[in-house]
Amino acid sequence: MARYPAELKASVIEKMMPPHNIPVAQLERETGISNVTLYTWRKQVKEQGAPVPGDGKNPELMVRRKSLCRADGNGSTQQR
């Protein structure tokens, strides 16, 4: 496994977290860091108690996500 400088890791983790919430797939493309490594870093931050997008424990993120979706008339949602 590759080792990354602490500054790079901190910068990438910051981009994953609110208010940026950049998806792992996008960060993987932009940085060349594998998604496995990125998910591991996110998991480590989550275990330290930080609010992580998609963990269901941060209602502010859920409200924001719902506000970005609209019903398409069939009971499903569609991204704007």
57 within a domain of the structure (yes/no): yes
pLDDT value of residue 7:
96
Q: Is residue 37 part of a domain?
A: yes
Domain assignment of residue 48, yes or no: yes
Q: What's residue 16's pLDDT? A: 92
Instruction: Walk along the chain (80 residues) in steps of 10 and give the mean pLDDT of each run.
Output: 90 92 95 96 90 60 50 49
Structural element, H or E, at residue 46? helix 35-47
For residue 12, give its domain range.
6-79
Phi then psi dihedrals of residue 60, to 5 deg: -60, -40
**Token code pair at residue 35:** 């998604």
pTM: 0.64
* pLDDT one-digit tens code per residue, 33-48: 999 999 999 999 999 9
Domain-embedded: residue 31: yes
Residue 1 belongs to a domain: no
For the chain, the domain total comes to: 1
Our separate counts of H helices and E strands in the chain read: 4, 2
